[in-house]
Amino acid sequence: MRKIVLILLAAMLTLSMCAHAEEGIVIGISMPSMQSSFFEGELYMAEETAKAAGVSYISVVADGDTAKQKTQIEDLISKGVDAVVCVPNDTEAIVSSIADCVAAGIPFIAMGRMPADMKDVALAITCDNFACAEACALAMADGAAEQGYEKVKVIELVGDLRDQNAVERTEGFKAAAAERGFEIVAEVATEWDADKAFSRLTDTLQGIDDFNAIYVPSDFLLPTIMSCLQTAGRWTALGEEGHVIICSIDGDPLAMEFITSGYVFMTANTDAFSFGRNAVAGAIEIAKGNFPAEVSQPVEVGDLRKASIEAAGDTIWGNVY
Amino acid sequence: MKKTVLTRLYRGWTSNPVFVATLILFVAMTLFVPSFATVKNITTIAQQFSFTGIAATGLAFVLIGGGNDLSIGSNISLSSVAAALVMTRLMGATGASVLPGILAALAAGALIGLFNGFCVSRIGMNAFILTLIVQMLCDGIALIATDAVSIGNLPAGYTFIGTGNVLGIPLPIAIMLAFFAAGQFALSKTAFGRRLYAVGANRQAARLVGVPIEKIQILAFVISGFCGAAAGIILSARLGAATPSAGSNSMLEIMSAAIIGGNSLFGGKGTVVGAACGVILLSLISNGLNLLGVSYYATMIVKGGIILFAVALDYFNQKMRTRQMLKG
């Protein structure tokens, strides 16, 4: 029985295979996971940009597994892609994959998260995390003033410190908070994992009730925030009693919804579509031999609050995706 | 003589369906996937599964002995972190730090195995629960020790293990083959191996004939821990960084490879060669689907389906064995 099933499986895979030779430029796109709308938005626009330019692409997702991402990039190299566009799962470990690409003569384009060693990166579409954190702090102060809070007492969520973005967002916020005299009443390590964020924030809220703001380093954590605050009876809109000033980063569709309904005050918009578009467009040019003058190309940061979301309409990715 | 050898080969191939499946897949991919059959791609695949292959070798010992080791993935992470910490934070990432780093990793892995073996065999804890707890402990220790940050800038002598060659063979592959050979030899040609099968097949009967059950089980877990540590060294050397959770995601793949390769969850059955074939089969499937541009979600379904079949078949095989024993 076992023999038959295993042989049948192998035969099924055999039949499903066919010669698949790519012609023209092929772009490899390596994503760390699809756990957030931001990554989905990046990948969506990366693929659309490739389609619009008439080039082929191969997308792979590492599911948060560093070893898998290395394997997938090696496979992309074996497949002979003309460039690799990558959001690293681990900014230290990706350096060895960059070396593999360089050895194979394939340019490496970093999107969003920057590798620990940038020397062999052909193009980097970057995010100014310090500007994002500063924008959040500024908005938090405005929100507190609107709500009538004398002092901002903030719970700070921290991302996965293997991600340089998370490191910069926490450093940036701490600096901006210190400048404005905020009190950081608790820090919650999320490791970019919604489940861990939920359990740890729940525990934190059981011990602390004197807070009036939450700093969220990525919008994908907003559903977790909502669940925790609902349990604590603090999920209220701006102007209502006990409202928590929530400021976040990314600008994803859920953040737009929460801001419009008054539960979240602001999000620092880092346009996911711009990341995907610029990375693939740059990769195509590099594949043709046109290297950029500036390796590092930052994406503009926007301050999105209720009024600006309504005014911006379809020009922001969170309203479109 | 020739007929006997050929007959034995034929029987070997047909009684081990994972060999047949792996062979069919390999031939099919060679014929139909243009970028597959290159020396570079095949050595790349082998390097990719080198760490899971070594870990699956160790896990085979535990499974054959009737146990289980869910901590092996976390062992990989913690051992690699131990090596990196010794090399970078204690000894400044110098060339002289490589050997102490490697020894630290192997010692950490063996100690984890010793702890597992002691708790399971001497105290009588359930292996599944115990190793699940140890998995959590290892993950926590690795994250605390590193502040949840990967440790890079490993010395060149260490990363050479993951990127270097010996006599033209990439080192991870050479090391993996050495583990396969040593593991299979230990299982098939030593008294320890025979006793391990006996313990796994029928613990009570093994005890009655004087097999030292506890010592055999402890040694199996120590081997698993040691192999996990070696896998951690290979992985971190390839990545050029020790990541506190790098191995944790591989546990299911390692377990699946061992089971697909014929190592029963119920003990008493299996080989290192089977585990090796299981690793190769899963890697070929991943590589093939990646090269064909199959979506990530579809790949998960295909691999999950194969693993489900393997586990279900193992269960049915065990039921049949039990029935035959009761009849006989």
Cβ contact B220:B61 at 8 Å = yes
CA R_g for chain B: 20
Contacts of B223 (CB under 8 A, 6+ apart): B58, B61, B62, B113, B183, B186
Confidence check: pLDDT of B1 > 60:
no
Cβ contact A212:A153 at 8 Å = yes
CA distances A108 to A77, A98, A193, A321, B237, Å, are 11, 6, 27, 27, 21
Confidence check: pLDDT of A126 > 50:
yes
SS3 state at A203: helix
**What's the pLDDT at A15?**
45
Whole-number mean pLDDT of chain A?
A: 90
Q: Residue A246: which of A260, A267, A230 has the closest Cα?
A: A267
The pLDDT tens digits for B30-45 are 888 777 788 888 888 8
Please give the ipTM for the structure prediction: 0.76
Say if the Cβ atoms of A93 and B235 lie within 8 Å: no
Q: How far apart are CA B151 and CA A313, in angstroms?
A: 44
Say if the Cβ atoms of B296 and A13 lie within 8 Å: no
Residue with tokens 């039949």: A15
Q: Is A125 left (phi over 0), alpha (psi -120 to 50) or beta?
A: beta
Quick one: angle between helices A194-207 and A222-231, nearest 10? 30
- In chain A, residues 245-304 whose CB comes closer than 8 Å to chain B: none
Residues in chain B: 328
Q: How far apart are CA B212 and CA B209, in angstroms?
A: 9
Q: Any CB–CB contact under 8 A between A311 and chain B?
A: no
Strand runs labelled E in B167-271: 169-170
Q: In the sheet where A123-127 sits, what is the strand order?
A: A56-61, A26-31, A83-86, A108-111, A123-127, A296-299
Please compute the mean of the pLDDT values over residues A131-137 and round it to a whole number.
Answer: 96
> Which pLDDT band, with edges at 50, 70 and 90, does A31 fall under?
very high
- What are the backbone dihedrals phi and psi of residue B19, each rounded to the nearest 5 degrees, phi first? -60, -45
Of B159, B163, B243, the CB nearest to A162: B243
SS3 state at A28: strand
> Which pLDDT band, with edges at 50, 70 and 90, does A19 fall under?
very low
Cβ contact A141:A180 at 8 Å = yes
CATH 3.40.50.2300 positions along chain A are: 2-128+271-300, 129-270
Q: How far apart are CA A100 and CA A102, in angstroms?
A: 5
The Cα of B101 is separated from the nearest Cα of chain A by a number of Å equal to 18
The percent of residues in chain A predicted with pLDDT above 70, rounded, is: 93
Give the H/E segment covering residue A155. Answer: strand A153-158
Spell out the domains of chain B, with CATH numbers in brackets: 47-327 (1.10.3470)
Confidence check: pLDDT of A3 > 70:
no
CA A226 to chain CA mean position, Å: 19
Give the H/E segment covering residue A189. Answer: strand A183-189
Cβ contact B307:B301 at 8 Å = no
**What's the pLDDT at A21?**
41
Q: Reduce the secondary structure of B144-185 to three states and give it as a string.
A: HHHCCCCECCCCHHHHHHHHCEECCEEHHHHHHHHHHHHHHH
Residues in chain A: 321
Task: Tokens for A135, please give them.
Answer: 């924008």
SS3 state at B328: coil
Say if the Cβ atoms of B28 and A10 lie within 8 Å: yes
Q: Which chain A residues are closer than 8 Å to B29 by Cβ? A: 17
In DSSP notation, A102-118 reads HHTT--EEEESSPPS--
**What's the pLDDT at B8?**
59
Q: Which chain A residues are closer than 8 Å to B36 by Cβ? A: 78
SS3 state at A188: strand
Q: Which chain B residues are closer than 8 Å to A7 by Cβ? A: 17, 20-21, 24
**What's the pLDDT at A8?**
56
Locate the chain B residue with the closest alpha carbon to A67: B246
Give the H/E segment covering residue A61. Answer: strand A56-61
**What's the pLDDT at A17?**
43
Cβ contact A154:A183 at 8 Å = yes
Locate the chain B residue with the closest alpha carbon to A17: B32
Confidence check: pLDDT of A18 > 60:
no
- What are the backbone dihedrals phi and psi of residue B54, each rounded to the nearest 5 degrees, phi first? -65, -45
Locate the chain B residue with the closest alpha carbon to A12: B25
Q: How far apart are CA A88 and CA A221, in angstroms?
A: 20
The Cα of B33 is separated from the nearest Cα of chain A by a number of Å equal to 6
How many CA within 13 A on the CB side of residue B131? 27
Say if the Cβ atoms of B293 and A5 lie within 8 Å: no
Q: How far apart are CA A104 and CA A106, in angstroms?
A: 5
CA A89 to chain CA mean position, Å: 11
CA B321 to chain CA mean position, Å: 26
CATH topology of domain A2-128+271-300: Rossmann fold (3.40.50)
Quick one: angle between helices A253-260 and A222-231, nearest 10? 40
Say if the Cβ atoms of B241 and A90 lie within 8 Å: yes
Locate the chain B residue with the closest alpha carbon to A91: B150
**What's the pLDDT at A4?**
52
Residue with tokens 């400048």: A179
State pTM to two decimals. Answer: 0.81
The pLDDT tens digits for B63-100 are 999 999 999 999 999 999 999 999 999 998 888 999 99
Cβ contact B263:B253 at 8 Å = no
Q: Any CB–CB contact under 8 A between B33 and chain A?
A: yes
Q: Any CB–CB contact under 8 A between B148 and chain A?
A: yes
Q: Residue B108: which of B211, B189, B202, B222 has the closest Cα?
A: B222
| Other C-beta atoms lying within 10 Å of the C-beta of residue A142 | 16
The pLDDT tens digits for A262-304 are 999 999 998 999 999 999 999 999 999 999 999 999 998 999 9
CATH architecture of the domain covering A129-270: 3-Layer(aba) Sandwich (3.40)
Of A13, A67, A116, the CB nearest to B25: A13
**What's the pLDDT at A16?**
44
Say if the Cβ atoms of A92 and B48 lie within 8 Å: no
| Other C-beta atoms lying within 10 Å of the C-beta of residue A310 | 12
The DSSP code for B250 is G
Q: Any CB–CB contact under 8 A between A105 and chain B?
A: no
Task: Tokens for A41, please give them.
Answer: 């938005």
Task: Tokens for A243, please give them.
Answer: 């409202």
| Other C-beta atoms lying within 10 Å of the C-beta of residue A319 | 17
The pLDDT tens digits for A219-268 are 999 999 999 999 899 999 999 999 999 999 999 889 999 999 999 999 99
Please compute the mean of the pLDDT values over residues A152-179 and round it to a whole number.
Answer: 93
Q: Which chain B residues are closer than 8 Å to A93 by Cβ? A: 150, 152, 239-241, 243, 246
**What's the pLDDT at B10?**
56
Strand partners, A53: none
- In chain A, residues 135-154 whose CB comes closer than 8 Å to chain B: none
Print burial letters for A242-274: b (CB count within 10 Å at least 16), e (below 16). ebbbbbbbbbbbbbbebbeeebbbbbbbbbbbb
Confidence check: pLDDT of B117 > 90:
yes
The pLDDT tens digits for B205-258 are 999 999 999 999 999 999 999 999 999 999 999 999 998 888 887 888 899 899
Quick one: angle between helices B171-189 and B50-64, nearest 10? 10
Task: Tokens for A157, please give them.
Answer: 């969520």
**What's the pLDDT at B15?**
57
Q: Residue B197: which of B116, B257, B112, B264 has the closest Cα?
A: B264
Please compute the mean of the pLDDT values over residues B254-263 and round it to a whole number.
Answer: 90
Give the H/E segment covering residue B58. Answer: helix B50-64
Q: Which chain A residues are closer than 8 Å to B147 by Cβ? A: 161
